[in-house]
Amino acid sequence: MYKEIAEEKFNKLKKEFKTRDIIILAIESSCDETSVAIIKNGREVLSNIISSQIDIHAKFGGVVPEVASRNHLMAINGVVKEALQKANVELKDVDAVAVTYGAGLVGALLVGVNYAKSLAYALKVPLIKVNHIKGHISANYIASPNLEPPFLSLIVSGGHTAIVKVENFLKNTLIGSTIDDAIGESYDKVAKALGLGYPGGPKIDKLAKEGKNNITFITHNIMPNGFNFSYSGLKTAVINYIHTKKQKNEEINIPDVCASFQHTAVMEIVNKTIKAAKKYKLKTVVVAGGVASNSYLRETLSNLGEKEGLTVLFPPMVLCTDNAAMIGAEAYNNIISGEGLADLTLTAVSNLHLKYSVK
Ligand code: KG4
Ligand code: ZN
Protein backbone atom coordinates (compact mmCIF):
# COMPACT_ATOMS: atom_id res chain seq x y z
CA MET A 1 0.00 0.00 0.00
CA TYR A 2 2.76 2.45 1.01
CA LYS A 3 4.67 1.59 -2.16
CA GLU A 4 1.77 2.49 -4.45
CA ILE A 5 1.04 5.75 -2.64
CA ALA A 6 4.73 6.74 -2.69
CA GLU A 7 5.03 5.93 -6.39
CA GLU A 8 1.97 8.00 -7.21
CA LYS A 9 3.24 10.96 -5.18
CA PHE A 10 6.71 10.65 -6.74
CA ASN A 11 5.27 10.80 -10.27
CA LYS A 12 3.17 13.78 -9.25
CA LEU A 13 6.22 15.62 -7.90
CA LYS A 14 8.05 15.02 -11.18
CA LYS A 15 5.14 16.48 -13.13
CA GLU A 16 4.45 19.42 -10.83
CA PHE A 17 7.91 20.65 -9.83
CA LYS A 18 7.76 23.71 -12.08
CA THR A 19 4.46 24.93 -10.68
CA ARG A 20 4.72 24.19 -6.95
CA ASP A 21 7.26 24.19 -4.13
CA ILE A 22 8.83 20.88 -3.15
CA ILE A 23 10.00 20.46 0.45
CA ILE A 24 12.55 17.69 1.07
CA LEU A 25 13.70 16.46 4.47
CA ALA A 26 17.21 15.06 3.93
CA ILE A 27 19.29 12.86 6.23
CA GLU A 28 23.06 12.25 6.15
CA SER A 29 24.81 9.81 8.53
CA SER A 30 27.52 8.13 6.44
CA CYS A 31 30.48 8.92 8.71
CA ASP A 32 30.77 11.04 11.84
CA GLU A 33 28.24 13.79 11.18
CA THR A 34 24.53 13.39 11.94
CA SER A 35 22.91 15.93 9.69
CA VAL A 36 19.33 16.78 8.74
CA ALA A 37 18.29 19.52 6.32
CA ILE A 38 15.06 20.96 5.01
CA ILE A 39 15.45 22.01 1.37
CA LYS A 40 12.98 23.95 -0.76
CA ASN A 41 13.03 23.29 -4.50
CA GLY A 42 16.44 21.67 -4.30
CA ARG A 43 18.31 24.96 -4.06
CA GLU A 44 17.06 26.85 -1.01
CA VAL A 45 18.35 25.68 2.37
CA LEU A 46 15.69 26.31 5.03
CA SER A 47 17.82 24.55 7.63
CA ASN A 48 20.94 22.38 7.69
CA ILE A 49 21.69 21.05 11.16
CA ILE A 50 25.02 19.25 11.58
CA SER A 51 25.77 17.42 14.81
CA SER A 52 29.45 16.55 14.62
CA GLN A 53 31.12 13.72 16.54
CA ILE A 54 34.64 14.97 15.75
CA ASP A 55 35.51 15.62 19.41
CA ILE A 56 34.43 12.10 20.39
CA HIS A 57 36.51 10.40 17.67
CA ALA A 58 39.53 12.70 18.07
CA LYS A 59 40.35 10.83 21.30
CA PHE A 60 40.84 7.67 19.23
CA GLY A 61 42.79 9.34 16.41
CA GLY A 62 40.10 8.52 13.84
CA VAL A 63 36.48 7.49 13.37
CA VAL A 64 35.49 4.37 15.37
CA PRO A 65 32.58 2.82 13.43
CA GLU A 66 30.61 1.41 16.41
CA VAL A 67 30.95 4.64 18.33
CA ALA A 68 29.74 6.55 15.25
CA SER A 69 26.57 4.41 14.87
CA ARG A 70 25.74 4.70 18.56
CA ASN A 71 26.09 8.48 18.49
CA HIS A 72 24.00 8.79 15.32
CA LEU A 73 21.29 6.82 17.05
CA MET A 74 21.36 9.10 20.07
CA ALA A 75 21.44 12.29 18.00
CA ILE A 76 19.11 11.73 15.06
CA ASN A 77 15.72 12.39 16.61
CA GLY A 78 16.84 15.66 18.14
CA VAL A 79 18.53 16.76 14.92
CA VAL A 80 15.34 16.09 12.89
CA LYS A 81 13.29 18.15 15.37
CA GLU A 82 15.80 21.00 15.30
CA ALA A 83 15.91 21.03 11.49
CA LEU A 84 12.11 21.25 11.26
CA GLN A 85 11.93 23.92 13.91
CA LYS A 86 14.66 26.08 12.37
CA ALA A 87 13.04 25.79 8.92
CA ASN A 88 9.63 26.56 10.40
CA VAL A 89 8.30 23.50 8.62
CA GLU A 90 5.99 20.82 10.00
CA LEU A 91 6.17 17.15 9.14
CA LYS A 92 2.90 17.41 7.22
CA ASP A 93 4.59 19.90 4.83
CA VAL A 94 7.33 17.43 3.84
CA ASP A 95 6.94 16.15 0.25
CA ALA A 96 9.77 13.59 0.28
CA VAL A 97 12.36 12.10 2.62
CA ALA A 98 15.89 11.74 1.22
CA VAL A 99 18.74 9.74 2.71
CA THR A 100 22.36 8.84 2.00
CA TYR A 101 22.48 5.06 1.50
CA GLY A 102 26.18 4.79 0.55
CA ALA A 103 29.11 5.02 0.41
CA GLY A 104 30.15 5.13 4.05
CA LEU A 105 30.33 3.16 7.28
CA VAL A 106 27.61 0.54 7.13
CA GLY A 107 26.44 0.86 10.76
CA ALA A 108 26.41 4.65 10.53
CA LEU A 109 24.51 4.63 7.22
CA LEU A 110 21.94 2.19 8.60
CA VAL A 111 20.86 4.63 11.31
CA GLY A 112 19.96 7.25 8.69
CA VAL A 113 18.45 4.73 6.27
CA ASN A 114 16.20 3.12 8.90
CA TYR A 115 15.11 6.46 10.29
CA ALA A 116 14.31 7.73 6.78
CA LYS A 117 12.34 4.59 5.94
CA SER A 118 10.21 4.88 9.09
CA LEU A 119 9.59 8.56 8.53
CA ALA A 120 8.69 8.16 4.84
CA TYR A 121 6.34 5.30 5.75
CA ALA A 122 4.66 7.24 8.55
CA LEU A 123 4.22 10.35 6.39
CA LYS A 124 3.28 8.31 3.30
CA VAL A 125 5.72 10.25 1.13
CA PRO A 126 8.37 9.05 -1.36
CA LEU A 127 11.72 7.87 -0.01
CA ILE A 128 14.65 9.04 -2.17
CA LYS A 129 18.00 7.23 -2.01
CA VAL A 130 21.09 9.37 -2.50
CA ASN A 131 24.67 8.50 -3.39
CA HIS A 132 26.91 10.41 -0.97
CA ILE A 133 29.47 11.44 -3.59
CA LYS A 134 26.81 12.72 -5.98
CA GLY A 135 25.55 14.68 -2.99
CA HIS A 136 28.95 16.34 -2.62
CA ILE A 137 28.80 17.48 -6.27
CA SER A 138 25.25 18.76 -5.74
CA ALA A 139 26.37 21.06 -2.91
CA ASN A 140 27.38 23.31 -5.81
CA TYR A 141 23.80 23.67 -7.08
CA ILE A 142 22.91 25.26 -3.75
CA ALA A 143 25.86 27.65 -3.85
CA SER A 144 25.36 28.43 -7.58
CA PRO A 145 21.63 27.95 -8.32
CA ASN A 146 22.09 28.67 -12.04
CA LEU A 147 24.72 25.96 -12.47
CA GLU A 148 23.77 23.35 -15.05
CA PRO A 149 25.61 20.38 -16.53
CA PRO A 150 27.72 19.68 -18.48
CA PHE A 151 30.72 20.66 -16.34
CA LEU A 152 33.89 19.14 -14.98
CA SER A 153 33.87 18.07 -11.36
CA LEU A 154 36.87 17.49 -9.13
CA ILE A 155 35.84 15.24 -6.23
CA VAL A 156 38.26 15.35 -3.30
CA SER A 157 37.27 13.78 -0.02
CA GLY A 158 38.40 11.32 2.62
CA GLY A 159 37.42 8.42 0.39
CA HIS A 160 37.57 9.78 -3.16
CA THR A 161 39.85 11.60 -5.56
CA ALA A 162 38.36 11.77 -9.02
CA ILE A 163 37.85 13.97 -12.05
CA VAL A 164 34.44 13.43 -13.55
CA LYS A 165 32.52 14.94 -16.43
CA VAL A 166 29.00 15.62 -15.20
CA GLU A 167 26.98 15.14 -18.39
CA ASN A 168 23.54 15.74 -16.82
CA PHE A 169 21.82 15.23 -13.45
CA LEU A 170 22.06 11.45 -13.83
CA LYS A 171 25.11 10.68 -15.93
CA ASN A 172 28.80 11.05 -15.03
CA THR A 173 31.80 10.07 -17.08
CA LEU A 174 34.96 9.16 -15.20
CA ILE A 175 38.08 10.89 -16.51
CA GLY A 176 40.55 9.92 -13.79
CA SER A 177 40.71 8.70 -10.20
CA THR A 178 43.16 7.60 -7.54
CA ILE A 179 44.64 4.16 -7.88
CA ASP A 180 45.32 3.91 -4.13
CA ASP A 181 44.76 6.42 -1.31
CA ALA A 182 42.37 9.35 -1.54
CA ILE A 183 43.82 12.82 -1.06
CA GLY A 184 41.91 13.42 2.21
CA GLU A 185 43.17 10.09 3.53
CA SER A 186 46.77 11.14 2.79
CA TYR A 187 46.17 14.42 4.68
CA ASP A 188 44.81 12.47 7.65
CA LYS A 189 47.67 9.95 7.66
CA VAL A 190 50.41 12.56 7.33
CA ALA A 191 48.78 14.56 10.15
CA LYS A 192 48.72 11.45 12.33
CA ALA A 193 52.43 10.82 11.66
CA LEU A 194 53.14 14.42 12.66
CA GLY A 195 51.12 13.95 15.85
CA LEU A 196 48.55 16.56 14.84
CA GLY A 197 45.48 14.45 15.57
CA TYR A 198 42.18 13.91 13.75
CA PRO A 199 40.92 15.18 11.34
CA GLY A 200 44.24 16.03 9.77
CA GLY A 201 43.15 18.06 6.74
CA PRO A 202 42.18 21.29 8.49
CA LYS A 203 45.21 21.07 10.83
CA ILE A 204 47.71 20.72 7.95
CA ASP A 205 45.91 23.48 6.05
CA LYS A 206 46.35 25.86 9.01
CA LEU A 207 49.96 24.96 9.87
CA ALA A 208 51.06 25.10 6.21
CA LYS A 209 50.34 28.85 6.26
CA GLU A 210 53.19 29.28 8.75
CA GLY A 211 55.64 27.09 6.80
CA LYS A 212 57.67 27.11 3.57
CA ASN A 213 57.45 24.76 0.63
CA ASN A 214 61.15 23.87 0.92
CA ILE A 215 61.21 20.04 1.14
CA THR A 216 61.04 17.90 -1.99
CA PHE A 217 59.26 14.65 -1.37
CA ILE A 218 60.46 12.11 -3.90
CA THR A 219 57.47 10.17 -5.11
CA HIS A 220 57.94 7.51 -7.73
CA ASN A 221 54.26 6.93 -7.82
CA ILE A 222 52.71 10.25 -8.71
CA MET A 223 51.38 9.54 -12.16
CA PRO A 224 52.80 11.85 -14.81
CA ASN A 225 50.53 10.84 -17.66
CA GLY A 226 46.78 10.74 -18.03
CA PHE A 227 44.37 11.78 -15.32
CA ASN A 228 44.82 9.15 -12.62
CA PHE A 229 46.32 9.87 -9.21
CA SER A 230 48.37 8.06 -6.60
CA TYR A 231 48.61 9.49 -3.11
CA SER A 232 50.06 6.49 -1.32
CA GLY A 233 53.61 7.20 -2.54
CA LEU A 234 53.49 10.82 -1.40
CA LYS A 235 52.14 9.84 2.02
CA THR A 236 54.94 7.23 2.42
CA ALA A 237 57.61 9.73 1.34
CA VAL A 238 56.47 12.18 4.03
CA ILE A 239 56.26 9.47 6.70
CA ASN A 240 59.76 8.21 5.76
CA TYR A 241 61.10 11.76 6.00
CA ILE A 242 59.62 12.12 9.50
CA HIS A 243 61.05 8.74 10.63
CA THR A 244 64.52 9.48 9.26
CA LYS A 245 64.59 12.85 11.03
CA LYS A 246 63.51 11.22 14.29
CA GLN A 247 66.15 8.48 13.97
CA LYS A 248 68.83 11.11 13.48
CA ASN A 249 67.45 13.10 16.39
CA GLU A 250 67.02 16.06 14.10
CA GLU A 251 64.35 18.66 14.62
CA ILE A 252 61.31 18.48 12.36
CA ASN A 253 59.93 21.76 11.16
CA ILE A 254 56.25 20.78 11.19
CA PRO A 255 54.90 23.84 9.31
CA ASP A 256 57.48 23.29 6.53
CA VAL A 257 56.54 19.61 6.24
CA CYS A 258 52.86 20.64 6.06
CA ALA A 259 53.51 23.34 3.43
CA SER A 260 55.67 21.04 1.28
CA PHE A 261 53.31 18.06 1.47
CA GLN A 262 50.32 20.27 0.77
CA HIS A 263 51.97 21.92 -2.22
CA THR A 264 52.78 18.54 -3.83
CA ALA A 265 49.35 17.07 -3.04
CA VAL A 266 47.40 20.08 -4.28
CA MET A 267 49.44 20.86 -7.42
CA GLU A 268 48.85 17.31 -8.60
CA ILE A 269 45.07 17.77 -8.64
CA VAL A 270 45.19 21.36 -9.83
CA ASN A 271 47.36 20.56 -12.87
CA LYS A 272 45.36 17.51 -13.88
CA THR A 273 42.03 19.26 -13.43
CA ILE A 274 43.06 22.16 -15.67
CA LYS A 275 44.48 19.73 -18.24
CA ALA A 276 41.21 17.77 -18.23
CA ALA A 277 39.07 20.89 -18.59
CA LYS A 278 41.09 21.86 -21.66
CA LYS A 279 41.05 18.39 -23.17
CA TYR A 280 37.30 17.95 -22.75
CA LYS A 281 36.58 21.59 -23.65
CA LEU A 282 34.67 22.35 -20.44
CA LYS A 283 34.69 25.92 -19.17
CA THR A 284 33.28 25.31 -15.69
CA VAL A 285 35.04 23.36 -12.96
CA VAL A 286 33.08 22.42 -9.86
CA VAL A 287 34.92 21.20 -6.77
CA ALA A 288 33.30 18.83 -4.28
CA GLY A 289 34.08 16.96 -1.04
CA GLY A 290 35.74 17.72 2.30
CA VAL A 291 39.10 18.68 0.79
CA ALA A 292 37.31 21.40 -1.24
CA SER A 293 37.49 23.44 1.96
CA ASN A 294 41.31 23.46 1.76
CA SER A 295 42.46 27.07 1.48
CA TYR A 296 45.53 26.35 -0.67
CA LEU A 297 43.45 24.34 -3.17
CA ARG A 298 40.79 27.06 -3.30
CA GLU A 299 43.37 29.78 -3.94
CA THR A 300 45.58 27.87 -6.40
CA LEU A 301 42.86 26.31 -8.54
CA SER A 302 40.89 29.57 -8.66
CA ASN A 303 43.96 31.59 -9.73
CA LEU A 304 45.41 29.16 -12.24
CA GLY A 305 41.96 28.23 -13.56
CA GLU A 306 41.09 31.87 -14.11
CA LYS A 307 44.29 32.35 -16.13
CA GLU A 308 43.06 29.55 -18.40
CA GLY A 309 39.64 31.18 -18.77
CA LEU A 310 37.85 28.70 -16.52
CA THR A 311 35.10 29.40 -14.02
CA VAL A 312 36.03 27.50 -10.85
CA LEU A 313 33.27 26.97 -8.29
CA PHE A 314 33.71 25.85 -4.69
CA PRO A 315 30.82 25.37 -2.26
CA PRO A 316 30.97 27.48 0.92
CA MET A 317 32.90 25.71 3.71
CA VAL A 318 29.83 24.38 5.51
CA LEU A 319 28.65 22.63 2.33
CA CYS A 320 32.09 21.09 1.57
CA THR A 321 32.24 18.59 4.43
CA ASP A 322 29.43 16.13 5.13
CA ASN A 323 26.01 17.75 5.46
CA ALA A 324 22.39 16.91 4.63
CA ALA A 325 21.67 20.02 2.53
CA MET A 326 23.74 18.58 -0.33
CA ILE A 327 21.78 15.32 -0.02
CA GLY A 328 18.52 17.25 -0.37
CA ALA A 329 19.83 19.08 -3.46
CA GLU A 330 20.83 15.80 -5.09
CA ALA A 331 17.47 14.20 -4.18
CA TYR A 332 15.65 17.07 -5.89
CA ASN A 333 17.68 16.62 -9.08
CA ASN A 334 16.75 12.94 -8.97
CA ILE A 335 13.05 13.61 -8.43
CA ILE A 336 12.78 16.01 -11.36
CA SER A 337 14.63 13.47 -13.53
CA GLY A 338 12.31 10.65 -12.40
CA GLU A 339 15.07 8.74 -10.55
CA GLY A 340 16.02 7.70 -7.04
CA LEU A 341 12.69 6.41 -5.70
CA ALA A 342 13.39 3.70 -3.11
CA ASP A 343 11.04 1.44 -1.19
CA LEU A 344 11.13 -0.02 2.30
CA THR A 345 13.66 -2.69 1.26
CA LEU A 346 16.34 0.03 0.96
CA THR A 347 19.51 -0.85 2.82
CA ALA A 348 22.96 0.68 3.28
CA VAL A 349 25.63 0.01 0.65
CA SER A 350 28.98 0.79 2.23
CA ASN A 351 31.06 0.53 -0.96
CA LEU A 352 28.61 2.27 -3.28
CA HIS A 353 30.48 3.82 -6.20
CA LEU A 354 29.58 6.69 -8.39
CA LYS A 355 28.03 5.15 -11.46
CA TYR A 356 30.18 6.32 -14.30
CA SER A 357 30.58 5.58 -17.87
CA VAL A 358 34.32 5.48 -18.49
CA LYS A 359 35.97 7.50 -21.25
O1 KG4 B 1 33.77 14.79 2.38
P2 KG4 B 1 34.22 14.53 3.76
O3 KG4 B 1 33.63 15.38 4.86
O4 KG4 B 1 33.98 13.05 4.15
C5 KG4 B 1 34.10 12.03 3.19
O6 KG4 B 1 33.10 11.79 2.48
O7 KG4 B 1 35.22 11.50 3.09
O8 KG4 B 1 35.80 14.67 3.74
C9 KG4 B 1 36.57 14.45 4.86
C10 KG4 B 1 38.02 14.66 4.46
C11 KG4 B 1 38.99 14.29 5.58
O12 KG4 B 1 40.01 13.48 5.04
C13 KG4 B 1 39.51 15.65 6.03
O14 KG4 B 1 40.82 15.60 6.55
C15 KG4 B 1 39.48 16.43 4.73
O16 KG4 B 1 38.26 16.04 4.13
N17 KG4 B 1 39.48 17.88 4.95
C18 KG4 B 1 40.49 18.68 4.53
C19 KG4 B 1 40.16 19.99 4.99
N20 KG4 B 1 38.97 19.92 5.65
C21 KG4 B 1 38.56 18.63 5.60
N22 KG4 B 1 41.61 18.41 3.86
C23 KG4 B 1 42.43 19.42 3.60
N24 KG4 B 1 42.21 20.69 4.01
C25 KG4 B 1 41.10 21.02 4.69
N26 KG4 B 1 40.88 22.28 5.08
ZN1 ZN C 1 31.70 13.09 2.35
Residue 295 CA: which ligand 1 atom is closest?
26
Give me the domain span that covers residue 57.
2-139+321-358
Encode pLDDT of 245-276 as tens digits: 999 999 999 999 999 999 999 999 999 999 99
Distance separating alpha carbons of residues 327 and 69, to the nearest angstrom: 19
Domain count of the fold of the chain: 2
Look at residue 59 in the predicted model and tell me its pLDDT.
Answer: 76
Q: Are residues 227 and 206 in the same domain?
A: yes
Look at residue 359 in the predicted model and tell me its pLDDT.
Answer: 46
Q: Are residues 109 and 180 in the same domain?
A: no
In a domain? residue 254: yes
Q: Are residues 291 and 343 in the same domain?
A: no
In a domain? residue 180: yes
Look at residue 344 in the predicted model and tell me its pLDDT.
Answer: 97
In a domain? residue 188: yes
Q: Is the pTM above the cut of 0.85? A: yes
Look at residue 357 in the predicted model and tell me its pLDDT.
Answer: 55
Distances (CA, A) of 206 to 76, 189, 236, 240: 31, 16, 22, 22
In a domain? residue 228: yes
107 contacts 68 by C-beta, under 8 angstroms: yes
Task: Report which DSSP code applies to 293.
Answer: G
Minimum CA distance residue for ligand 1 atom 8: 290
99 contacts 112 by C-beta, under 8 angstroms: yes
What is the enclosing helix (H) or strand (E) of 71?
helix 65-87
* Radius of gyration (C-alpha) of the chain in whole angstroms: 21
Q: Are residues 175 and 299 in the same domain?
A: yes
Look at residue 212 in the predicted model and tell me its pLDDT.
Answer: 97
In this prediction, the residues of the chain whose per-residue pLDDT falls under 50 are 359
Q: Are residues 85 and 189 in the same domain?
A: no
Q: What percent of the chain has pLDDT over 70?
A: 97
Q: Are residues 162 and 45 in the same domain?
A: no
Q: Distance, CA 212 to ligand 1 centroid (Å)?
A: 22
Look at residue 220 in the predicted model and tell me its pLDDT.
Answer: 61
Distance separating alpha carbons of residues 160 and 130, to the nearest angstrom: 16
Look at residue 91 in the predicted model and tell me its pLDDT.
Answer: 98
The best mutation among 109, 153, 157, 178 to test binding of ligand 1, ranked by most ligand atoms within 8 Å of the C-beta, falls on 157
In a domain? residue 144: no
Instruction: Identify the CATH number of the domain in which residue 332 sits.
Output: 3.30.420.40
Q: Are residues 116 and 50 in the same domain?
A: yes
The best mutation among 187, 189, 203, 258 to test binding of ligand 1, ranked by most ligand atoms within 8 Å of the C-beta, falls on 187
Q: Are residues 54 and 165 in the same domain?
A: no
Residues 6+ apart with CB under 8 A from 212: 255, 256, 259, 260
Omega of the bond leading into 145 within 30 degrees of 0 (cis): no
Encode pLDDT of 75-109 as tens digits: 899 999 999 999 999 999 999 999 999 999 999 99
Q: Are residues 164 and 101 in the same domain?
A: no
Q: Are residues 291 and 258 in the same domain?
A: yes
Q: Are residues 85 and 191 in the same domain?
A: no
Minimum CA distance residue for ligand 1 atom 13: 201
Encode pLDDT of 207-248 as tens digits: 999 999 999 987 765 677 789 999 999 999 999 999 999 999
> What residues are in contact with ligand 1 under a 6 Å CB criterion?
31, 136, 157-159, 184, 187-188, 199-202, 205, 289-291, 293-294, 321-322
Q: Are residues 305 and 234 in the same domain?
A: yes
Ion ligand 2, residues whose Cβ is below 5 A away: 157, 322
